[in-house]
Structures are given as C-alpha cells and as structure tokens.
Amino acid sequence: MKTLTTAHLTGIAGLTAEDVHTLLDTAQEFKEVLNRPIRKVPTLRDLTVANLFFENSTRTRLSFELAEKRLSADVVNFSASGSSVSKGETLVDTVNNILAMKVDMVVMRHPHPGASKFLAERIPNTPVINAGDGTHEHPTQALLDAFSLRERLGELAGKKIAIVGDIRHSRVAISNILCLQLLGAHVRVCGPRTLVPRHIRSLGVEVSHDLDETLRWADAVNMLRIQLERQGGEGRVPYFPSLREYARAFGLDKERLDRLDRVPWILHPGPINRGVEVTSEVADGPHAIILDQVENGVAVRMAALYLLAPVRP
Ligand code: CP
C-alpha cells in the first residue's frame, strides 16, 4: 500500500510530487467506487472524524462529510457559530475537548492563515486536514482541480494552466500553483495589477495582465472568485474601479471565447459571482468543468482521509 510522506495535510507545501501522484491515483480508485451501485466501503469503519468549520463553506464541508460517510467513518460536525468559541474558548481548548471524546481525525477550515499547522503541531497524533485557512492554503481544492484537469488533459507535465483573478487574497491560487508545479505544469497568473502581488513571481510563475492573450496561451483557466469579503468590507471595492469594469477586463463571456481558435477548459472553485468572473452562459457551457470539480472533490477527499487515517492496532 502506498503512503504519504506527511502525517497531516496542512498544505501542498511539504508534499512531494510522489505524494500528489499517490493522492490523485487513489482518488481515481475512489471515483470508480462512487460510480458503483453501492457507493460505500468499510475502509474507515470505527474511526471518528470531526469537521471543524470556523468559517462558512458549502462545497468543502458537504464534500468532506460525504467522503467520510462513503468510507463508513463516524462523523461529528462543529460550526463556530453557536459554539463556545463565542464565549472566548481557544482553538486548542476547543479541539482538545473534541479529542477527549475520542475523535481520530480532524478536518478544519479556519479564517486565520496557518491555523491548521498550528493545530497539527499541538495534536501531533491526530491527523489534521486543512479545509482552507485564511489566505494561506486550500490543499484539497488544488488536488481536486488537478484531478479534474488530468481527466481532460492527461498527465499535466508541460501543460499550460492559467489562474485568473484575485490572486492576492486566494488560498486556492497558492495551493494550485504549488500542486501544478509538482506535476510539471507551466503556471501563469493573470489579473489586475492590484490583485497580483509582486512576490508571486518568486514562486516561479509567469505573470500577465492580459486575459485575451492568456486565453490563447492556456490549455485550461481557473477563474478565481473575487473575494470582496477580504477587500476591506462590504460596499468597498478598493482594488478596481467597479465590478462591471473588472468583468470587462478579466471576466469570461461568450464573446471573448468566440474570438478564440481553441477554447481552454474552464474551472472555478466556487462560489461563483455570476456575471463577474464568468457569465452564466460560460459557467453552464460546454467548456466549463466546474461541476466535475465538485464531483471529483468527494473522491479526492476520500483519498486524503484514507491515506492519512491512523492505523488501528
Ligand atoms: N471551493 C470552496 O472552498 O467552496 P466553499 O467555500 O463553499 O467550501
């Protein structure tokens, strides 16, 4: 049986190329399980997984819960709202209380960058999976994106993948860059100058501010959500003049795609701001693989849970 070189999945940083291939190949096997009439396997029977969500989520939370249930794990869910966090309880106290109830693995989303690593260092014997930590990393999103790209493009070595939009505030961008580079892809980021931080070049990516040229270059484009909630509060749009102007320069619509000889595959991690990053016509059109990403997320998370699960004596 293949294993990972890490006891926790706090980010793509720290994984080897071999780890990423192992995760994707294992996810392929679980995708086959999910397409059988009986979609459940006993792999994690008698293990209990806690899903700790200190920040909102739809896709990631449902996907992890479904993955855990398909693997026959027992599942407990925790949301910060309605918990004793609002009474001042610390993250470590919260988690230690949950672990005292004999939890075997923890999946955590948290608004603070580095929260998963902080937790993993304090509960080293309980595997921690990062479900998104602030602007830091979202490793299972990058893995499901790579899995979905591999389905369409084959092996990703040498393929050209563009990440478009709000790079500055995106954990998905960082995890995608690291994951795609481990798989040998060429990665370009594209967006307004205000949303592409200068230091991103130090990761070895190309930088462009021209979406039309990037669309001609790319085999696939991952259209990131504009994260208004991380841009200084509601009602303020300090990084570009208006959403309409952003959409005109960096949004995908049918007219833009119609000008291309070859249309790249289109990804979006969700939730979509329809009419901003992509129009509905594009999001629901033949080149978008956005719902494939969601479907593949369950298989990828099953693989991560399976490969990190503690071995029972
Ligand atoms: N892609 C993603 O992380 O979506 P959620 O915030 O709904 O989990």
Q: What is the DSSP string of 52-76?
A: EESS--SHHHHHHHHHHHHTT-EEE
Q: pLDDT for 226-258, tens place per residue?
A: 987 776 655 555 788 889 999 999 999 999 999
Nearest residue (by CA) to ligand 1, atom 6, is 57
The secondary element (H helix, E strand) that includes residue 77 is: strand 74-79
At 95, is the pLDDT very low, low, confident or very high (cuts 50, 70, 90)? confident
Calculate how far, in angstroms, residue 59's C-alpha sits from the geometric centre of ligand 1. 5
Cα 147 to Cα 143: distance, rounded to the nearest angstrom: 6
Cα 204 to Cα 63: distance, rounded to the nearest angstrom: 31
Cα 147 to Cα 292: distance, rounded to the nearest angstrom: 10
Percent with pLDDT over 90 in the chain: 86
Calculate how far, in angstroms, residue 1's C-alpha sits from the geometric centre of ligand 1. 31
Quote the crossing angle between the two packed helices 17-34 and 139-153, to the nearest 10°: 70
Calculate how far, in angstroms, residue 296's C-alpha sits from the geometric centre of ligand 1. 14
At 313, is the pLDDT very low, low, confident or very high (cuts 50, 70, 90)? low
Asked if 125 and 152 count as a contact pair (C-beta separation under 8 A), the reply is: no
Strand partners of residue 274: 278
Spell out which residues line ligand 1, taking CB within 6 angstroms: 57-61, 132, 141, 269-271
For residue 148, pLDDT beyond 70 = yes
Q: What's the half-sphere exposure (Cβ side, CA atoms, 13 Å) at 153?
A: 26
Residues forming the active site:
59-60, 87, 109, 138
Nearest residue (by CA) to ligand 1, atom 3, is 60
Mean pLDDT over residues 17-34, rounded? 98
- pTM to 2 decimal places: 0.95
Could you tell me how far CA 6 lies from the centroid of its own chain? 18
Enter the tokens of residue 51.
């899903």
Cα 114 to Cα 133: distance, rounded to the nearest angstrom: 6
- Identify the three-state secondary structure at position 102: coil
Asked if 100 and 46 count as a contact pair (C-beta separation under 8 A), the reply is: no
Percent with pLDDT over 70 in the chain: 96
For residue 99, pLDDT beyond 90 = no
Enter the tokens of residue 282.
């594009």
Mean pLDDT over residues 120-144, rounded? 96
Chain length of the chain: 313
